[in-house]
Amino acid sequence: MNVFNSQNQKQHHSSSSKHKKKRLNEGQVRLLEASFDAEKKLDPERKFHLAHELRVPPRQIAIWYQNKRARWKNQSLEVDYSSLQMRLETALSEKKQLEKEIDNLRGELKRTQDILLASQGCPPPVSSFSSYCDEGSSTFYDDGRRSFEIVDQTSQFQELYACLMMGEKEQTVLSPTGLNQKDFWV
């Protein structure tokens, strides 16, 4: 049986040496790298030319190109991912900064509203209520996109009451535009 095993091993060794591919040396790899940098896709004519020049089977050149292209695509994806990750981090940082700015502006708006409401807290004399009816008593904050009306509801009701009371006393009082002052509050 020993003789049979040794013959079998010789056959197996000789058949595997036929299919065993020669490993590329540094010079061959450099040449293939330069070729790949020049053109990412391998056409058949070029494959045979490189195989002849490097003295390796054309199939080995094709496999090397296929593997290199896969590695190159993976590297490109990693670079793209890193770039997108940095852009996302930048956008999130900007969002956080804008949210802080919004909070600061809301605080400033609140303080401004409080100041306006405090300044309107004392009811004006009755004679000046008619001018409030004509002009309105609201203040606007315009940021270019929205307007926020800042109104003291208590003062608004007092103004409405004063306008109505004056309107009942003087049924024919007209504003400069010729409209009854009551029309503004209906």
How confident is the model at residue 40, as a pLDDT? 87
How confident is the model at residue 118, as a pLDDT? 84
The single-letter code of the amino acid at 103 is D
CA-based torsion, 36, 39, 41, 43: positive or negative: negative
Q: Are strands 139-142 and 147-150 parallel, antiparallel or unpaired?
A: antiparallel
How confident is the model at residue 120, as a pLDDT? 81
The dihedral over CA atoms of 29, 33, 34, 36, expressed in degrees to the nearest 10, equals 140
Nearest-angstrom CA–CA distance, 4 and 38: 53
Low-confidence stretches of the chain (pLDDT beneath 70): 1-21, 122-186
Domain limits, the chain:
26-92, 122-186
Tell me phi and psi for residue 125, to 5 degrees.
Answer: -60, 155
Q: 3-state class of 186 per DSSP? A: coil
**For the whole prediction, is pTM greater than 0.75?**
no
Structural class in CATH, domain 26-92:
mainly alpha
